[in-house]
Amino acid sequence: MGTPSVAVFGAGVMGIGIATLLVGRGVPVTLVDVDPARLGTARERVRAELRFAHMMGALPRSGPTGELRTADDAAAASDAGWVIEAVTEDAGLKAELHKEIAAVVAPGTPRVTNTSSIPVDELACQVPSPEDLVGVHFMNPPYLIGTLEVVRGPRTGERAMSAVRDLLSILDRKGIVVGDGPGFVTSRVLHRMINDAANVVEEGRATVEDVDALMEGCLGHPTGPLRTADLIGIDNLVDSLKVLYERTGDEGCRPSELLLRKVAAGDHGRKTGRGFYEYGAR
């Protein structure tokens, strides 16, 4: 008997990255999205990400590649062994989607929310079978980053936690279990730092390049906070900061005016070709 399939909801940057990791490790995937334009390009985007992952040595070139199916309806996830939701960082949207998912999957199917900041229990209190819901914060791109946060909400059951451990073992990923709460660990620390870095640039105290060079050279940050913002997606970063600010009241999480201007201008980072830096085609 082969590896059970995974249904991934959302064919945006994170959904495509997660699907790439899965099929690259031999796991069959059903990628679900209601946007026909996104769905229409999904196969080519996954193929492009796979080529890049192989070039970087991040996924094995030999061995099986999981089948990729696409669908525009939640019912396509009915036979999935795991479900991963990777839609935009909007608590209401995520909760409604998890209600749809819970209605079509078999009882006990683990449902993962890939969120960078929304508390798992905030979603769990709105959906059926909250014991099946667990948070997994995949970092971007998922096939390059081998460690991730696993967020156990107060209602998350042991069966769901065990199922997630099994999936991460198949994917050759290390999961670190953390407590629930806005931003968990990585976003609570990193996103505030990126926001501060943007404010320093906005105040004219240093250039983008100098902020990143200082954080790399003095503090050992591997890429610098503003180049990291481009990788995350500045629009996603702002959404996450808004969640943190609304739920903690921390003024340090109020999105920088510079970040807001970049989002308004469509300069979202690598995925749009321009953010704090400019990027050519891969």
Domains 6-179 and 186-270 belong to one CATH topology: no
Over 59-77, what HEC string results? CCCCCCCCCEEEECCHHHH
CATH topology for the 6-179 domain: Rossmann fold (3.40.50)
DSSP letters along 172-208, please? Answer: T-EEEEEE-STTTTHHHHHHHHHHHHHHHHHTTSS-H
Per-residue pLDDT of 17-76, as tens digits, reads: 999 999 999 999 999 999 999 999 999 999 999 999 999 999 998 878 999 999 999 999
Digit-coded pLDDT (tens) for 216-264: 999 999 999 999 999 999 999 999 999 999 999 999 999 999 999 999 9
Phi, psi of 264 (to 5 degrees): -60, -35
CATH code given to domain 186-270: 1.10.1040.10
| Helix%, strand%, coil% for the chain, nearest 5 | 50, 15, 35
SS3 state of residue 84: strand
Instruction: Kindly report, residue by residue over 137-175, the tens digit of the pLDDT.
Output: 999 899 999 999 999 999 999 999 999 999 999 999 999
pLDDT tens-place string over residues 83-101: 999 999 999 999 999 999 9
- Mapping DSSP to helix (H, G, I), strand (E, B) and coil, where does residue 278 land? strand
What per-residue confidence (pLDDT) applies to 1?
A: 54
Domain boundaries of the chain, sorted by first residue:
6-179, 186-270
- Containing H/E element for 219? helix 208-219
